[in-house]
Structure 1
């Protein structure tokens, strides 16, 4: 899991980073709200931990900015010395999913993070995932469409699984390179475009099958579910009976 931490106290940041690394999580630390925002909005994270009292902008304003600009609900935990009922309510109303007062107990912090990730990704432990006519078997690494097995490479499978698990979320080319190709920075982004073009055909991502990959100009891609009423076939039939 990849975590973004907003904490301006160096010792605190290093301690949380060590705790996360001991659990095999990658934790990127940021001492300013602006730096944190730039990273969260343009990179791929699974969770964010925020302090409230940050020199350049309050953590609660940082969270509000993330919620206003990010097109999917990235899980967020506040970890701060502010612990009044008013503070907790304000943070939760601003979009926080959980709230811990400093100093946090290590075991409790880890348990709350794990619980939040489970709630945010309920299908991560399932062997077979169903998305419309698609069935993805994560153990056998196979994908079926309308009961028919699709002929996919290992990388096609990884990319498809990541797309469906992040359905509706804008995925930049950089995110895809990091999460599907193993953070290979030297890989040309055209590799992503080539795989996406091929995947559209191999998966049959069209209105008839209920999904499409939408290209977001100069940003990346988003897998979108298509309602039956959005299908050109449906609109044609409707017009014919008008």
Structure 2
């Protein structure tokens, strides 16, 4: 999904962008409200993340402009440090769909973004429920895994990990990114929890080239899960 984020703090802006990109979205960052509004005149975004306090235009003014000119779409998420009840009410009243209070937490931001996208684009969300790759089929709704058409039993955490891997195939994934996405927190450098779960998945799901995938450990970084051509692998 294409997401626009307007945030004047460079560190916060980069954090938001990185979280969204790690989750598989495209993210365009803007440092002020006017830049975002100019972009909205000729670009289409599936979701907007808006800070309240900006150097030129206040967040509620941006939300009001979008609603007057674009209707109910795209959905809008306030991401702000303003935590008073009257601020939350005002933000939702002016047309925002959700309201998230800083500090930004990776798991919470991902959850709110996914919830808004599911509600706004139900057909796309339904299509994303099924992930197919090689001999694998994962159903996010039913929480089932098929390998070569046969069901494989996995634990809830193993399913979350498998789903994250298959949704991010071809990307280099740091340990922290995987931990935040699956466990909602950084587990710690000394823990073997992630490695243990990866090892179990590798065995249970037969994550091998003959099934069209390869799971590789990347020293001091994390993992790479990629698609491979089984015929080419055998030829080599």
TM-score, length of structure 1 as denominator length: 0.56
For 1:1-53, what per-residue CA distance to the aligned partner results, in whole angstroms no more than 9, with x for missing partners?
A: 9x884422xxxxxxxxxxxxxxxxxxxxxx12x55336644784546352255
Structure 2: gaps (5+ residues): 49-56, 77-115
The answer to whether structure 1 residue 50 and structure 2 residue 12 are counterparts is no
Whether 1:179 and 2:141 are equivalent positions in the alignment is: no
- Residues of 1 paired with 2:35 and 2:159: CA distance? 37
SS at match of 1:156: helix
- Residue 157 of structure 2 aligns to a residue whose secondary structure is helix
Which aligned pairs between 1:1-242 and structure 2 lie closer than 5 A? 5-8=5-8, 31-32=9-10, 36-37=13-14, 40-41=17-18, 44-45=22-23, 46=25, 48-52=27-31, 80-82=36-38, 103-105=62-64, 106-107=66-67, 108=70, 111-112=73-74, 124-126=125-127, 127-181=129-183, 183-186=184-187, 189-231=191-233, 233-235=234-236
Cα separation, partners in 2 of 1:223 and 1:124, compared to 1, 3 Å: farther
Q: Give the CA RMSD over aligned residues.
A: 4.2
Asked if the contact 1:178–1:184 (Cα under 8 Å) also holds between the matched residues in 2, the reply is yes
Per-residue deviation, residues 79-123 of structure 1 (Å, max 9, x unmatched): 5254698xx6xxx7xxx9689998344544872358x968x9986
> Is this contact kept in 2: 1:49–1:79, CA < 8 A?
no
Instruction: Tell me how far apart the structure 1 counterparts of residues 185 and 202 of structure 2 sit (CA, whole Å).
Output: 23
Is contact 1:207–1:230 with CA below 8 Å preserved after alignment? no
Q: In the TM superposition, what is the alpha-carbon distance from 1:195 to its structure 2 partner?
A: 1.0
How many residues matched?
177
